Copies of this chain bind each other. A is one copy, B any other.
């Protein structure tokens, strides 16, 4: 049977993995797809690398536009990354009537609305399973597997680098800086780790999941994005004493007032399965009204896991591309004319529980003042520990876990607590989710 011709843009880690897996599992994949899927043309600035990886089995070029303009190419796989040339190439491929498979979460989170509108107008498919959580088929689960459900919320560990760092900090009691340096040495973190450790990468992925879960446009610019670089080892330890683990979670939740869209370090009860996802692994917890909680776990990055998702999309497109567009799975899970735009809630309006750590003078009345402020703001306390001061020490730590409240109320309480003379250092505030 006539092969489907794929043009590959970028033969780096994921591109190389895609080539390798497609070649190794050719027989198996053809048995599934019904026809061979062949990478016939590869573009990479590094021509020598492209030649080495493809070993004569594909045409190579350093001109990516020669691939997207090639009439023989049916599907373009974009693995260049970033918003610049990648955007131009994807839009050009769409304009040329080609289907696109991409792993580029940054591009979709920031320019997805424009790209999906173009694809819709041209009647082509833009598939992006590889953009979120690597090899875990979470896009398919949200878009097809849970299509009966009103999805209530999603909470995901969707950045392997930060989960690796947090696991090491907890296991070994080390500081963020020490573990980051080690992660960079091992190749788990990039030389410039900002996108990962400051939560930007997770926010890109969360934005995409939020859109397909709720049938809304991408709203990356309104996401609250907070990373782990200021997280102290002692908070991980205190959390553990209270029965919690700290994970960098991407959380999106539908509320009557709007959609929460936030990435931040989060305390989770240690009994939850997702609290036990360690190292560079990813996991996404999805709560649907009919199905209840479901969890999807696997490798969120790496050459072959990401290639697994790229190729699953290639098989899907191979199967679907002859269907008329209105019978395909819609890009954003909901039919394009059925997308609605729900407001994204400002951070002050979200509801969650909180972990507060205060450095206070060890003298009578301090705790009474603090708890009075919380009570006045309508915030109730779920648990508290006060560390016994060391011999001769005149200050100590108080840790408070609150029940659920509005962020704006905790903000107000923190301002008041911070102004108490007995409170000595800036108060540490983390969010806590029970995930039930």
What residues make up the interface of A, taking CB atoms closer than 8 Å to B?
Answer: 17, 21-22, 24-25, 28-34, 129, 134-137, 140-141, 144-150, 215, 273, 276-277, 288-299, 304-305, 307-312, 314-316, 319-320, 322-324, 326-330, 333-335, 338
Contact = CB atoms under 8 A, between A and B. Distances in A.
Given A137-B145, A294-B297, 15 more contacts: A21-B148, A31-B215, A34-B327, A137-B144, A140-B144, A141-B145, A144-B315, A147-B316, A148-B307, A148-B310, A288-B308, A291-B309, A294-B298, A319-B327, A322-B327
Nearest to A296: B296
5 contacts: A34-B330, A135-B294, A147-B315, A148-B312, A293-B298
B307 A28 contact: no
Contacts of A32: 147, 215, 330, 333-335, 338
A92 B311 CA distance: 37
Contacts of A338: 30-32
Given A137-B141, A141-B137, A322-B324, A29 B294 contact: no
Contacts of A30: 338
Given A276-B276, A290-B307, A148 B335 contact: no
Contacts of A147: 29, 32-33, 311-312, 315-316
Nearest to A335: B34
A146 B307 CA distance: 10
Contacts of A296: 294-297
A323 B323 contact: yes
Contact of A298 (B25, B292, B315, B328): B292
Contacts of A33: 147
Which residue, A129, A147, A329, A335, has most C-beta atoms of chain B within 10 A? Answer: A147
Given A291-B299, A292-B305, A297-B295, A140 B148 contact: no
Given A140-B145, A297-B297, A327 B323 contact: yes
A129 B324 CA distance: 25
Contacts of A324: 322
B137 A311 contact: no
A201 B129 CA distance: 33
A273 B282 CA distance: 12
A3 B342 CA distance: 27
A102 to B, nearest CB: 16
B140 A308 contact: no
Contact of A320 (B141, B308, B327): B327
Contact of A305 (B145, B291, B316, B329): B291
A329 B215 CA distance: 24
A146 B32 CA distance: 11
Contacts of A292: 135, 298-299, 304-305
A298 B305 contact: no
Nearest to A333: B32
When A and B form their complex, which 5 residue pairs have the shortest distance between CB atoms, in order from nearest? Answer: A137-B145, A148-B311, A294-B298, A135-B291, A31-B338
A344 B359 CA distance: 65
Contacts of A148: 21-22, 25, 29, 307-312, 314-315
A290 B22 CA distance: 10
Contact of A290 (B293, B297, B304, B330): B304
